[in-house]
């Protein structure tokens, strides 16, 4: 019996690809979120235990990374444990008792990333605006972010800062 090596190689690659795709489909969406440096901190553990099951109709998915949550198959993600945000020219809004920095994205109009300002550790929220409403997400997550320790920094307008 003669073995056709190109055919054998093609079958082997196809089998490995099929197994890999099945594995990736079985892995929770949050598995792929990078773990923030302070995700295992006590404030983030307390916050993560309170992530809601639903936000704006999006169901919470399993997340394997500490301090993270995923809703709607990645339409909305939250990561607790980032280093406290530093002063930035990015726009900032105050919702409730929490300041949020709106990170600017060049060339990506569909996603919005917000990071708490004046909280240590910080909470990052990433929103796919085609599948989730930023205002609904922020209203839902601000009450959790209020539980993170404040570090005394507040958002101010650039017009309120002294010239450099």
Query: CB of 65 within 8 A of CB of 33?
Result: yes
Identify which has the larger pLDDT, 157 or 98: 98
User: Does residue 92 carry a pLDDT above 90?
Assistant: yes
pLDDT at residue 31, rounded to an integer: 45
Query: Is the residue at 81 inside a domain?
Result: yes
Domain annotation covers residue 21: no
The string of pLDDT tens digits covering residues 102-159 is 987 777 889 999 999 999 999 999 999 999 999 999 999 999 999 999 999 998 866 6
Indicate whether 129 belongs to any domain: yes
What average pLDDT score do residues 81-92 get? Answer: 92
CB atoms within 10 A of CB 3: 6
Number of domains in the chain: 1
What 3 state SS string does the chain have?
A: CCCCHHHHHHHHHHHHHHHHHHHHHHCCHHHHCCCCCCCCCHHHHHHHCCCCCEECCEEEECCCCCCEEEEHHHCEEEEEEECCCCCCCCCEEEECCEEEEEECCCCCCCEEEEEEECECCEEEEEEECCCCCHHHHHHHHHHHHCCCCECCCCCCCHHHCCCC
Cα(85)–Cα(71) distance, integer angstroms = 24
Which domain covers residue 79, as residue numbers? 26-157
Q: Is residue 4 part of a domain?
A: no
In a domain, 3, yes or no: no
The closest alpha carbon to 76, from 112, 27, 38, belongs to 112
1 found inside a domain: no
pTM over 0.85: no
Average pLDDT of the residues of the chain = 83
Inside any domain, residue 2? no
pLDDT of residue 156: 80
Per residue in 22-40, pLDDT (tens digit) is: 434 434 444 467 899 999 9
The answer to whether position 5 is within a domain reads no
Residue 8 has a pLDDT of 44
């Amino acid at each position: 019996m003669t073995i056709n090596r190109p055919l054998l190689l093609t079958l082997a690659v196809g089998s490995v690809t099929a197994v890999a795709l099945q594995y990736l489909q079985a892995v929770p969406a949050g598995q792929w979120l990078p773990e923030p440096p302070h995700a295992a901190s006590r404030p983030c553990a307390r916050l993560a235990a309170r992530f809601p099951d639903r936000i704006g109709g999006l169901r919470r998915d399993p997340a394997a990374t500490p301090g993270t949550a995923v809703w709607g198959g990645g339409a909305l993600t939250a990561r607790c444990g980032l280093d406290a945000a530093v002063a930035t020219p990015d726009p900032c809004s105050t919702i409730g008792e929490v300041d949020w920095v709106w990170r600017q994205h060049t060339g990506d109009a569909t996603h919005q990333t917000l990071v708490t300002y004046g909280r240590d550790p910080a909470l990052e929220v990433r929103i796919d605006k085609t599948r989730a409403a930023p205002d609904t997400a922020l209203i839902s997550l601000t009450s959790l972010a209020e539980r993170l320790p404040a570090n005394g920094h507040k958002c101010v307008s650039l017009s309120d800062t002294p010239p450099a």
